[in-house]
Amino acid sequence: MFEKVLIANRGEIALRIHRACREMGIKTVAVHSTADANAMNVRLADETVCIGPPAARDSYLNVAAILSAAAITGADAIHPGLGFLAEDADFAATVEEHGFAFIGPSAEHIRLMGNKVAAKEAARKLGIPTVPGSAGAVRDLGAAETAARVIGYPVLIKAAAGGGGRGMKVAHNAAELARMLPIAQHEAASFFGCGEVYLERHLERPRHIEIQILGDGQGGLIHLGERDCSLQRSHQKMVEETPSPALNPEERERLGTLAVTALRELGYKSAGTVEYLYQDGEFFFIEMNTRLQVEHPITEMISGIDIVREQLRIAAGAPLNYRQSDITLCGHAIECRINAENPDTFLPSPGRVTDYHAPGGLGVRVDSALYHGYEVPPYYDSLIAKLIVHGKSRNECLMRLRRALEEYVIGGIETTIPLHQRLATAAEFIDGDYNVHWLERFVRNPA
Ligand code: MV4
């Protein structure tokens, strides 16, 4: 096993990785920007290295500074966390070229899944149903119109290098396609540095359901069930739950088995997530994420498996400790992402935390780097805490969620806790009756 791991991230996820390392007796190196010198993950780390000024491009994305910090401290491995460099195939390759282990998948698999056209083609060849769409990228309007006639309108134009919904455009007919295609290509080129776009049939009210998988790259590959991530606004997930209230046991089994068969064939290593859209009893692959995800704790709560510990073991060359038959998914878990934002306008609310009390008790987990007196910096993502609750049934989980939200005190800054409280009592949420558009409307209607 590794003796020392450098954690190339910040905030709650850096703390989450630190905790897994310490439980395994691994020393940690926290790298941080000047803005994060007082962060909890930095305070708890065995060693710390300041890698640059607040702007992420100069610190958390500064590859030379991160590699130097790893060399100076004698780390054997680098965990990229999520966001920042986590899905940068060149970073993964560079880390290994410098003699450190990269705690994540192979650079080739990160690169493959980073191109959504290539990822979809790979998934289709591996037997996973994909959304009907163009055969690969569409070069020009002629090709796009031909493809759209076959697919049927409305169609969605997506960027091959995109993902997460940025730069998508709907076209309801040929005239709209002609107008939107050049705009989409131009946006793709300027957002992602690659103008390639592709078409898909537009599903109008899907749910977003993803499967967590773990592979060791030595033939061992399992899934840990699904997460329903349909509760999001502006492509930011707000609440996730597992199991999905929409799936029956047969659908769950089929989704999991398809993902496992495909990724075992690919020889996938580390944690990964296969994303599907689910509508009218049908599901379609859309993307694969080759990283640890923000919402991984709900899967840990129902499976009892520490996903970060498994990532560390796998990166050190150990085979998976579990077969699929060893996995029992138990009860129900929900995560609320708490942001330092005004709960009505969603404007960021950085500043000093003047009161802090986190909820606890049976079935309650808080993943957060907050503490009394901490100053939330204005430079980064506004996620400050994840409240994760577990219960034997979905109803017990919801009861516990309302209780835990009531208890949570974060003073001095605005947070989205009041919005979560309102959501936790909304009939559609309680009934599990929602799709990817539902929350958007809910947040626009005042209480
Ligand atoms: C779609 C779709 C409907 N039809 N693809 C947005 C994020 C990206 N990962 C995929 N997204 C979507 N792709 C087809 N063919 C609707 C969405 C979508 C969405 C997906 C997941 C979660 C929230 C969403 C919100 C709006 C649109």
Per-residue model confidence as pLDDT tens for the chain (447 residues): 999 999 999 999 999 999 999 999 999 999 999 999 999 999 999 999 999 999 999 999 999 999 999 999 999 999 999 999 999 999 999 999 999 999 999 999 999 999 999 999 999 999 999 999 999 999 999 999 999 999 999 999 999 998 777 789 999 999 999 999 999 999 999 999 999 999 999 999 999 999 999 999 999 999 999 999 999 999 999 999 999 999 999 999 999 999 999 999 999 999 999 999 999 999 999 999 999 999 999 999 999 999 999 999 999 999 998 999 999 999 999 999 999 999 999 999 999 999 999 999 999 999 999 999 999 999 999 999 999 999 999 999 999 999 999 999 999 999 999 999 999 999 999 999 999 999 999 999 877
Catalytic positions, written as ranges: 291
Expressed in angstroms and rounded, the spacing between residue 231 Cα and the centre of ligand 1 is 12
Residue-level pLDDT at 166: 79
- Measure the N-to-C terminal CA separation of the chain; round to a whole number of Å: 52
Other CB atoms within a 10 A radius of the CB of residue 233 amount to 18
Q: Can you tell me which atom of ligand 1 is nearest the CA of 208?
A: 21
Residue-level pLDDT at 167: 82
DSSP 130: B
Residue-level pLDDT at 321: 87
Expressed in angstroms and rounded, the spacing between residue 204 Cα and the centre of ligand 1 is 9
Q: What share of the chain is helix, strand, coil (3-state, %, to 5)?
A: 35, 25, 35
Nearest CA to ligand 1 atom 7: 165
Expressed in angstroms and rounded, the spacing between residue 278 Cα and the centre of ligand 1 is 10
Report the distance separating Cα 370 and Cα 353, nearest Å.
8
DSSP 293: -
Q: Can you tell me which atom of ligand 1 is nearest the CA of 202?
A: 4
Ligand 1 lining (C-beta closer than 6 Å): 131, 156, 163-165, 200-203, 206, 208, 232, 235, 277, 286-287, 436
User: Edge-to-edge strand order for the sheet containing 221-233?
Assistant: 282-289, 269-279, 207-216, 221-233, 236-242, 332-339, 383-391, 364-368
The two three-digit tokens of residue 50, written as one number: 């300041």
The two three-digit tokens of residue 127, written as one number: 């037997």
User: Which residues, other chains included, contact 208 with Cβ-Cβ below 8 Å and sequence gap of 6+?
Assistant: 228, 229, 230, 232, 275, 276, 277, 278, 436
The two three-digit tokens of residue 343, written as one number: 């709960």
Residue-level pLDDT at 164: 74
pTM: 0.97
Expressed in angstroms and rounded, the spacing between residue 163 Cα and the centre of ligand 1 is 9
